[in-house]
Amino acid sequence: MSEPIAWLNGRLIPHPQAALPVGDLGVVAGASVTEMIRTFRHQPFRLDAHLDRLNASLDLLDFPTRPPRADLEAAVAEVVCHNAALIPASHDLGIIVFVTAGQNPTYLGAAGHDQFSIGSVCVHTFPLPFEFWADLYSRGGHLTAVSIAPLPEDAVTPRAKHRNRLHWWRADREAGRKTPGSRALLRLSDGQFTETSSGNLLVVHGRTISTPPSEIVLGGISRAVTQELATAHGFAWQERPLYEADLLSADEVLTTSTPYCLLPITHFNNQPIATGVPGPVCQELLTAWSNLTGLDIVRQSIEAAIERTGER
C-alpha cells in the first residue's frame, strides 16, 4: 500500500478511512484521552513513558475503555513501520494515540445501552511539520499572557492529557490578536503561570531551572527528559510557582514539547527576555538532546523544513 495507514479499533486501514462515528463522545463532547509521541530516525522515542501517561490519564478521568498495552505497542510498531517508509529517511513522524469515552447515549437510545461505554481507540501518524518551528531555534518564540483561565482542577485535572481543548484554542487566538505569532501562556487566578497549549514552561536564572509545580500542569515527557539532561549537566532543577516577574527577570525562558523537544522563548508580553535572543543554556541543552537522540535536532528541523516547503 502506497498510502499511510492507521489502526482503528483493532484494524489496520488506509489513513483516509480512519474516522469516528458522529455519535462518538470524542466528537460529541471532546471526551478523548490522547498521547503524541515522535520518532527519531523513524523509531518511537520514550514510547513506554507516553503509554504510562496514557494509562494514568484514563485512570484520572475514569474512562471506561482500557485498551491492552500490548495491542497499542503492536499497533504503533506496525503503523510506524509502514508510514515511515513513505517519508524521506531524514524526516520523522508524529504518532497519535487516542481513546474516546464511548458513545453518546442520547443518539443511541435505550436500545443501544450496551454500546454506551464502547469507545474508539486509534493510532495514526503524520509527517512532522518542521517548518512550524525550525526558525524558532535561532530567533526564539513569543508568549503572551491571556484572560482565558485553565480548566478548574475539580472539573478536569491538568495532569491528564485530553482533547477537551476549546479553552486553548480561544487562548491562542487571543494571544495572536495581542501579539501576532505568539502563543498563549495560561495562569491561575493568583497569577501563577501554568503552561502553553503545547508545552511546559521552564525559567532559567543562572544555573537554576524552575518549572511550575507538577500538580498544576501536565507531566510533560519532554520536560522530564530535559530535567534528566539538565541535572546531568550540573543545573539545579526546582518546581515552584512562577509569576510575571520571574519571566521578565529570567536569563532565559524555554518551553518543552514532543515535536520540537526544546525551544527558546525570547519575548513575553511583547517585551524582550534578557537580551531578546536565544541564550547559551538553550544551546547547551539542545546539544544534550541531540547527543541523546543521536540526531542533530536543530539541523534536522531546518533541513527538513526547507525540503518540505522549498523555501530558505
pLDDT in tens, the chain (312 residues): 689 999 999 999 999 999 999 999 999 999 999 999 999 999 999 999 999 999 999 999 999 999 999 999 999 999 999 999 999 999 999 999 999 999 999 998 988 888 888 899 999 999 999 999 999 999 999 999 999 999 999 999 999 999 999 999 999 999 999 999 999 999 999 999 999 999 999 999 999 999 999 999 999 999 999 999 999 999 999 999 999 999 999 999 999 999 999 999 999 999 999 999 999 999 999 999 999 999 999 999 999 999 999 855
pLDDT attached to residue 113 = 84
Please give the single-letter amino acid code of residue 271.
Q
pTM: 0.96
With cell 522515542, the residue in question is: 45
CA-wise closest residue to 293 among 97, 44, 35, 48 = 44
Alpha-carbon torsion (28, 30, 33, 34), positive or negative = positive
- State the Cα–Cα distance between residues 225 and 221, nearest whole angstrom: 6
At 117 the pLDDT is: 87
Q: What are the chain's domains?
A: 5-128 (3.30.470.10), 136-307 (3.20.10.10)
Residue 203, pLDDT score: 98
Q: Which strands sit side by side in the sheet containing 93-100, from one edge to the other? A: 11-14, 5-8, 121-127, 93-100, 32-40, 43-44
Q: Which residues contact 283 (CB under 8 A, 6 or more apart)?
A: none
Q: Is 163 exposed, middle or buried (0-12, 13-18, 19+ CB in 10 A)?
A: middle
Gyration radius (Cα) of the chain, Å = 20
